Amino acid sequence: MKINYLTQGLVKKNYICSLFGHQYVEIKTVNAHFKEFECKNCRMQATNDSVGQKIKLTSELKDINETLFYLYLKRQFLAKFYFEKKEQ
Ligand SMILES: [Zn+2]
């Protein structure tokens, strides 16, 4: 059985994840395209890339997501107060 380098370090710690894959639950919605997930077995955090693949959530990616989330909130805010009348 071939194990890729990302899961190799987790084999001893959590063999369930290495056998069956991580059981991700959504912990945060960044915007319409990006979400953050956490494995309920080993607590590994992940996010999804632009094509929807799950990737390990590094501190660098976390910073990017924070920025995206801020921009998303800002856009929601602007949409609510400046474009509300247009839609009615
Ligand atoms: Zn896991």
Q: Residue 7 Cα, ligand 1 centroid: separation in angstroms?
A: 9
Predicted model pTM: 0.67
Q: Residue 79 Cα, ligand 1 centroid: separation in angstroms?
A: 38
Q: Residue 40 Cα, ligand 1 centroid: separation in angstroms?
A: 7
**What is the domain partition of the chain in residue ranges?**
23-80
pLDDT value at position 3? Answer: 55
Beta carbons of 44 and 56 less than 8 angstroms apart: yes
Tell me: the pLDDT tens digits for 14-68?
788 988 999 999 999 999 889 999 999 999 999 998 888 999 999 999 999 999 9
At 10, which amino acid appears? Answer: L
pLDDT value at position 74? Answer: 93
pLDDT value at position 85? Answer: 60
Q: Residue 37 Cα, ligand 1 centroid: separation in angstroms?
A: 11
Q: Residue 69 Cα, ligand 1 centroid: separation in angstroms?
A: 25
Rounded to an integer, what is the distance from CA 62 to the centroid of its chain?
Answer: 9
φ and ψ of 53, to 5 deg:
-80, 140
Distances (CA, A) of 38 to 2, 33, 35, 54, 63: 24, 17, 10, 11, 17
